[in-house]
């Protein structure tokens, strides 16, 4: 980047430069970072989100604009990825000051949507501080953490294009949102107990048992007493039970129709994970990362985990709390719990309260719910370490949607995935986006979830495929869906796809 500026740098007086960039530049605090960097260098101009990424105009001495370009890469926010930066020089416009402009929604919607991010240490400190206005608030977030993919509906990534649009910010949150020095400057899901989402505890008929903080205390007590709790989390419902209680684990298996497949565990903190599993340094880094996936780790002999959690299996799937709500509940419990997908086997997870009551009413005893809508199902990701290499077994929360950049031109294509462990992808000129894990297409609900995911990704990116690729097997539901689109089809043999 600096050599490009060096070649085209103008000398004498102020110049104006326009910089456009693609990649992961929305939802990561990129505009606030650009604002602070530009003002630190005394540059005038503006920054705004676009459908393709971000656009920046800078006005000032050429050497300061070049310094901006160098520092843009070296000091960028930790979750930002800058791709294909383009620079053009223009005559000065007479800008005074630097501004964050309204987003530009025109043009091809190729900006990358950020996966959901585990709660950051700063937000956890605030949530645990009795003097802070977000003390014990289950939806604390900032530009460095919180929901992204699970709430976005359209690009550009602005609050009005997310499920948070139904929660107008209070004056205090608005002040933070507009303050360039604040960690929540342009944090789209910004909220607090005054203006944001809230939690409640329901029985199986939908009757409210408790609200606010009482919800957590009563939910924790129910789990300790051997009850099954359905928790509305970040990307859908989870089923939680005491992982030490073999009788309740077996009852969960019976109700969920899951005979032997291992259950995942959530533990209160890293020390708890160390007591249960023999963790390597790399596995600990993965557990505590911003992706915060389930990791398949070798279990220690003996221990407190019920035998029926993972029968005859030398490994356990284990994760740490990754949202403020999980941290608060696990803080009340301080025990390992099963945290498995809120569904019947082979069905997609529930994301809406009334649907959960209908589908999980015969499984769960209580429902811990909240009123922040979930835009799409996002399961917990699963990873494992083999030969010091991280392998993603289930690509979902924290990883999806996964961008796949490729240099060759390609006509807009939709890939509808496999029959088992389905996910889908969309791709075009120079890019492809892989969806979250959807599941096995054995049931109608799973097929419907695949269709919703394809429509959702298409809507976010304003994407219209010219061709669809599918499995060669004519009877798979994904193949039938591909045929129903009325587009040219490229069938791919199942085992050939595995090799690729």
pLDDT at 263: 98
**pLDDT band, residue 119 (cuts 50/70/90):** very high
What are 482's two structure tokens? Answer: 């591909």
In the predicted model, is pLDDT for residue 12 greater than 80? no
In the predicted model, is pLDDT for residue 349 greater than 50? yes
Mean pLDDT, the chain, rounded, equals: 93
Find how far residue 39's CA is from the centre of its chain.
Answer: 31
Bigger pLDDT: 496 vs 36: 36
| Whole-angstrom distance, CA of residue 164 vs CA of residue 327 | 21
CATH of the domain at 34: 3.30.70.100
Q: Are strands 54-61 and 14-24 parallel, antiparallel or unpaired?
A: antiparallel
Q: What is the mean pLDDT of residues 310-331?
A: 98
Task: Please tell me the least confidently modeled range out of 156-160, 422-426, 440-444, 453-457.
Answer: 440-444
- Last residue of some domain: 45, 71, 100? 100
pLDDT at 83: 86
**pLDDT band, residue 241 (cuts 50/70/90):** very high
Bigger pLDDT: 405 vs 69: 69
Q: What is the domain range of residue 305?
A: 199-370
In the predicted model, is pLDDT for residue 202 greater than 90? yes
| Whole-angstrom distance, CA of residue 276 vs CA of residue 336 | 9
pLDDT at 500: 58
Looking at the structure, do residues 148 and 259 belong to the same domain, yes or no? no
- Tens of pLDDT along 445-480? 889 999 999 999 999 988 999 999 999 999 999 999
In the predicted model, is pLDDT for residue 399 greater than 90? yes
In the predicted model, is pLDDT for residue 381 greater than 90? yes
Cis-peptide, bond into residue 202, ω within 30° of zero: no
Total domain count, the chain: 4
The dihedrals phi and psi of 84, each to the nearest 5 degrees, come to 55, 55
Bigger pLDDT: 388 vs 404: 388
- Last residue of some domain: 197, 227, 253? 197
In the predicted model, is pLDDT for residue 5 greater than 70? no
Whether 387 maps to a domain, the answer reads: no
CATH of the domain at 123: 3.90.870.30
């Amino acid at each position: 980047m600096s050599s490009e500026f060096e070649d085209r740098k103008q000398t004498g007086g102020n110049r104006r430069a326009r910089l456009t960039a693609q990649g992961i530049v929305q939802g990561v605090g990129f505009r606030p970072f650009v604002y602070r960097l530009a003002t630190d260098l005394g540059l005038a101009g503006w920054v705004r989100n676009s459908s393709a990424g971000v656009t920046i105009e800078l006005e000032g001495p050429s050497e300061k604009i070049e310094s901006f370009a160098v520092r843009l890469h070296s000091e960028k926010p930790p979750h930002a990825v800058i791709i294909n930066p383009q620079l053009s020089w223009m005559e000065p416009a007479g800008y005074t000051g630097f501004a964050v402009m309204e987003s530009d929604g025109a043009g091809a919607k190729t900006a990358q949507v950020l996966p959901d991010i585990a709660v950051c240490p700063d937000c956890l400190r605030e949530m645990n501080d009795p003097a802070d206005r977000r003390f014990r608030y289950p939806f604390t977030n900032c530009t460095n953490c919180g929901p992204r993919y699970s709430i976005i509906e359209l690009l550009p990534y602005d609050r009005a294009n997310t499920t948070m649009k139904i929660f107008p910010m209070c004056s205090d949150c608005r002040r933070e949102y507009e303050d360039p020095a604040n960690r929540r400057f342009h944090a789209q899901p910004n909220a607090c107990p005054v203006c944001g989402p809230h939690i409640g505890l329901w029985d199986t008929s939908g009757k409210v048992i408790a609200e606010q903080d009482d919800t957590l205390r009563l939910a924790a007590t129910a789990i300790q007493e051997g009850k099954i709790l359905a928790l509305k989390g970040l990307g859908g419902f989870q089923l939680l039970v005491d992982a030490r209680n073999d009788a309740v684990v077996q009852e969960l298996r019976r109700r969920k129709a899951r005979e032997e497949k291992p259950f995942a565990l959530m533990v209160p903190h890293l020390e708890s994970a160390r007591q249960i599993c023999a963790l390597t340094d790399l596995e600990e880094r993965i557990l505590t990362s911003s992706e915060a996936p389930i990791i398949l780790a070798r279990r220690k002999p003996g221990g407190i985990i019920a035998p029926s959690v993972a029968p005859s299996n030398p490994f356990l799937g284990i994760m740490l709390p990754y949202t403020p709500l999980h941290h608060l509940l696990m803080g009340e419990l301080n025990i390992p719990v099963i945290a498995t997908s809120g569904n019947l086997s082979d069905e997609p997870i529930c994301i809406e309260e009334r649907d959960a009551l209908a589908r999980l009413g015969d499984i769960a005893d209580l429902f811990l719910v909240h009123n922040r809508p979930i835009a799409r199902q996002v399961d917990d990701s699963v990873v494992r370490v083999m030969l010091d290499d991280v392998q993603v077994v289930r690509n979902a929360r924290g990883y999806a949607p996964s961008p796949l950049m490729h240099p060759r031109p390609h006509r807009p294509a939709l890939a509808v995935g496999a029959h088992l462990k389905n996910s889908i992808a969309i791709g075009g000129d120079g890019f492809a986006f892989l969806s979250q894990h959807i599941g096995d297409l054995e049931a109608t609900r799973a097929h419907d979830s695949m269709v919703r995911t394809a429509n959702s990704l298409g809507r976010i990116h304003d994407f219209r495929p010219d061709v669809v690729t599918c499995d060669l097997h004519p009877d798979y539901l994904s193949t039938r869906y591909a045929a129903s689109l009325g587009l040219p089809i490229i069938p791919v043999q199942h085992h050939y796809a595995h090799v690729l």
